């Protein structure tokens, strides 16, 4: 991610914070189809009788940026990424237009996003704690944690990171793991800020999902992978607890279709391996 792109993304933080108040006007709504997601916010029924928050659209909350799961295309400003491709497939299967709302991860995992969105997709690890607030789809990706550090920081293990400036994203499994293992991490609202702090030298290490942090330092010799942490995290798409069961069933249908056809593996290769 370029510093110019990060500058654009940082400006979006103001509306992200306001989203916690759950006002529809506070969210930055983006269309993953290249068209405006504006217009009336009234709910409507799909052809199959499923009610969505906005007529003719599947509205998805996502914490942007979280590369390569979700990000803004530098040229077009449209949301792209692994998660975006999956929810686009869900919308297509349902015969709906996709609209993406930039939300905070805290609002997503608390389940409060349901005021503005039908579902949420943002590299969300399935945990028992989160199941108290949201209902998960079938898993669509398996991930783990990693500790990365500046090459000259002298960090070769988790223990070496104790007492050092280690960045994590707030409300994530990485933040929980850091606290549980004796670190005193600095929390950032999103992974963009977390990674920018590392590259700017404000932190000397970062702990988080392998898929995101390894992607962030790919080809950059200034940083090293210190330790892979096999946490066996399954990711799922969510709806608010006890709500949108019919939409969740449609999500599961699409995940199964993509898996059975091999398209999901192709998307993984596209976004994680650059193929």
For the residues of 171-229, what is the DSSP string, one character each? TSHHHHHHHHTT--PEEESSHHHHHHHHHTTS-SEEEEEHHHHHHHTTT-TTEEEEEEE
Structure tokens at 231: 């946490």
Centre a 10 Å sphere on the Cβ of residue 162 and count the other Cβ atoms it contains: 13
pTM: 0.80
Which residues are bridge partners to 61 per DSSP? 101, 120
CB environment 203-240: b (16+ within 10 A), e (fewer): bbbbbbbbbbbbbbbeeeeebbebbebebebebbbbbb
* Helix, strand, or coil (residue 161): helix
The total of other beta-carbon atoms located within 10 Å of residue 73's CB is 14
Helices (H), the chain: 3-11, 13-19, 82-94, 105-110, 173-180, 191-199, 210-216, 245-261, 263-272
Q: What is the pLDDT, as a whole number, of residue 19?
A: 37
Residue 90's Cβ-side half-sphere holds a number of Cα atoms within 13 Å equal to: 32
Q: What is residue 37's predicted lDDT score, i.e. its pLDDT?
A: 37
Backbone angles phi, psi at 126, to 5 degrees: -75, 115
pLDDT of the chain, 275 residues: tens digit per residue: 433 333 334 333 333 333 333 333 334 456 554 433 333 334 566 556 899 999 999 999 999 989 999 999 999 999 999 999 999 999 999 999 999 999 999 999 999 999 999 999 999 999 999 999 999 999 999 999 999 999 999 999 999 999 999 999 999 999 999 999 999 999 999 899 999 999 999 999 999 999 999 999 999 999 999 999 999 999 999 999 999 999 999 999 999 999 999 999 999 999 998 86
The packing angle between helices 82-94 and 245-261, to 10°, is 110
């Amino acid at each position: 991610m370029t510093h110019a792109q990060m500058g654009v993304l940082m400006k979006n933080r103001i509306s992200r914070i306001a989203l916690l108040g759950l006002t529809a006007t506070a969210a930055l709504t983006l269309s993953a189809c290249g068209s405006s997601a504006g217009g009336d916010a009234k709910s409507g029924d799909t052809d199959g009788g499923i009610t969505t928050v906005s007529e003719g659209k599947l509205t998805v909350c996502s914490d942007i940026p979280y590369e390569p799961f979700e990000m803004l295309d530098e040229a077009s400003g449209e949301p792209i990424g692994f998660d975006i491709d999956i929810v686009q497939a869900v919308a297509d299967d349902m015969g709906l237009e996709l609209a993406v709302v930039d939300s905070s991860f805290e609002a997503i995992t608390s389940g409060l996003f349901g005021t503005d969105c039908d579902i949420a997709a943002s590299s969300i690890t399935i945990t028992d704690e989160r199941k108290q607030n949201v209902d998960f789809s079938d898993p669509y990706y398996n991930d783990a944690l990693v500790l990365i550090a500046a090459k000259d920081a002298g960090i070769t293990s988790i223990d070496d990171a104790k007492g050092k400036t280690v960045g994590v994203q707030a409300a994530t499994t990485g933040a929980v793991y850091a606290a549980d293992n004796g670190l005193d991490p600095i929390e950032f609202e999103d992974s963009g800020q977390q990674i920018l702090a590392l590259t700017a030298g404000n932190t000397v290490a970062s702990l988080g999902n392998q898929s995101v942090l390894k992607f962030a330092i790919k080809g950059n010799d200034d940083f090293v992978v210190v330790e892979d942490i096999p946490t066996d995290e399954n990711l799922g798409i969510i709806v608010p607890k006890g709500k949108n069961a019919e939409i969740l069933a449609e999500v599961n249908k699409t995940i199964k279709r993509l898996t059975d056809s091999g398209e999901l593996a192709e998307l993984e290769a596209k976004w994680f391996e650059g193929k």
